[in-house]
Structure 1
Amino acid sequence: MSSRAALEGSSILLIHGAYHGGWAWKFFARILKANGAEVHTPTLTGLGDRSHLASPSVSLATHIQDIEAYIRYQEVRPSAVVAHSYGAMVACALSDRNPQFVKSLTLIDGYLPEDSVSVFDLQGSDEANSGRELLASTGFRPPPTVESLGIEDAEIGCWVSQRLVPHPLNSYGEVRTYRPAVERRSYGMYVSCIRYHKFQRFFELARRAGWRAESIDAGHDAMLTHPEELAGIVVEFILSRRTRDE
């Protein structure tokens, strides 16, 4: 990690994934702030501290609007955007709609959408089929176990399990058109959590498209289990982008 003031003047927007909330960045954000960054951790509608707003009608469009409204009302200046898992769908849409805002884009074990797709289109057939069945019945998918997310520490696992909530699946069924991944290669980085194999093909897609490709020996929730190591990768990328921009 660079000096404590390495990120002085940098703004970083963190977008969490399904089942989680802004709380999921707690340890990771603390490190970025200690390095001088201004860090934003909004929560998407229906999740985390906004779980009281959960509804089957909550969509991907809702979540994109959440972030755009946060940027507007919190007066967030152009930022390095970091997204985890499902949050990558939101981040890529933000990049397409507001390219002047996104100074760099880091996806951590996230979907990498291209063309007109939904999350269901990007999932394996079994997962997508079960998801569509849940969408038609309850509208929500129950949260995964902390063990499946790669969280082995009992104390952290208990803390996380108390905060995970069901995810509104309308957001997975919504089809949205995205730019090709190759068009983001100049400012994109993909970080693969190698103990979790579900997103490996998106890591390979990013690498073929010319993105910077990094990996971390962690499960899916690396920002919770390996915050220091993950922060080191992200900070170095942000600094390299800032040097190029200067």
Structure 2
Amino acid sequence: MSSPTARTFVLAHGSWHGGWCWAPVAARLRAHGHRVFTPSFTGMGERAQLLSPSITIDTFIDDLIQVITGEDLHDVVLVGHSFAGVPITGVADRLPERLAGLVYFDSVVLESGRDSFSHYPPQEARARVEAAQRATGGLAVPVPDPLPAAWGLEPGSPEHEWVVAHLTPHPLGSYTTPLNLQHPIGNGLPCTYIHCTAPSLPLLESSRVLVRALGGWNWVELAAPHEAHITHPDMLADVLLNL
């Protein structure tokens, strides 16, 4: 994915977030002359008013495909943070000819036929379903309160307050519907996994085990927390610029 010329990045956000969360990293990539798109998934971020029971993982895959095709993007470096590892895998399965490579930024990696909760500890998946039932009748998982410590956002800090002010409930259907693939994970494209190690998020350990078993991936250790795109944007931008 290295190139001396300007590249095109599409940055996909994780659970409860929106395209807003990429602002610090996007600004740094653009300052180096690259094109950057930071869409929000249907029902999230500034599109929270579109929350509905019909949202599935395919909705999010289609969201990304529409950005890529609607903006006529080619040779895209598609980056998925956390949960967004699932929809970027779906995009690669359906639209590989538009992609230069995939970057799984401390994210979920999922096999065909499984849903996002398949790689979560059972107690975590159950807790999210129950929280969604209590808060929205099963429509969406409410924002965690307090935020998980592994996110690395210090309570009272400007970054913490900014994130808390912008988080929105996450559509439950995107977790519980299966990812259906016609090709192997990554569909033959160059794949990089960025493991945030300070601290390492236990929720993602099974995904990391899967990546190691697949073989052939570029592996990057980042000494930053799960929300490195907010807490350590220079560090993450440098990784993306040097892929």
- TM-score of the two chains, using structure 2 as the length reference: 0.88
Deviations 1:122-149 (A, max 9, x none): 2111112233334553321111234532
Number of equivalences: 232
Q: SS of the counterpart of 1:165?
A: coil
Partner of 1:150: 152
2:8/2:36 contact within 8 Å kept: yes
User: Of residues 180, 183, 204 in structure 1, which corresponds to 2:184?
Assistant: 180
Contact kept in structure 2, 1:20 and 1:163, CA below 8 Å: yes
Aligned match of 2:205: 200
Of 5, 9, 13, which aligns to 1:8?
Answer: 5
1:46 aligns with: 43
Task: Look up the equivalent residue of 1:217 and give its one-letter code.
Answer: A
Matched, 1:220 2:226: yes
Structure 1 residue corresponding to 2:86, chosen from 89, 100, 104: 89
TM-score by length of 1: 0.87
Who is 1:240 aligned against? none
Give the equivalent residue in structure 2 for 1:163: 166
CA distance in 1, matches of 2:56, 2:77: 24
Where 1:189 maps in the other structure, the secondary structure is strand
- What's the counterpart of residue 236 of structure 2? 230
CA contact (8 A) 1:105 1:188 kept: yes
The unaligned stretches of length 5 or more in structure 1 are 238-246
Contact 1:191 1:203 in 2 (8 A): no
2:33 pairs with 1:36: yes
Output the CA distance in 2 between the equivalents of 1:183 and 1:50.
30
Q: Is the 8 A contact 1:135 1:170 kept in 2?
A: no
Instruction: Report the CA distance between 1:41 and its aligned residue.
Output: 0.7
Root mean square deviation of aligned Cα: 2.0
Q: CA separation in 1, counterparts of 2:102 and 2:225? A: 21
- Distance in 1 between residues matched to 2:148 and 2:15, nearest whole Å: 16
Residue 73 of structure 2 is aligned to residue 68 of structure 1: no
SS at match of 2:180: strand
**Structure 2 gap segments, 5+ residues each:** none
Amino acid in structure 2 at the alignment position of 1:68: I
Measured against aligned partners, the alpha-carbon deviations of 1:35-85 in whole angstroms (never above 9, x if no partner) come to: 111111111111111011112322111111111112222222230111101
Q: Pick one of 99, 102, 106 that aligns with 2:99.
A: 102
In the TM superposition, residue 9 of structure 1 has moved relative to its aligned partner by 2.3
Higher alpha-carbon deviation: 174-183 or 63-72: 174-183
Aligned twin of 1:189: 192
| Contact 2:129/2:138 (8 A) holds in 1 | no
Between the two proteins, what is the percent identity of the paired residues? 30
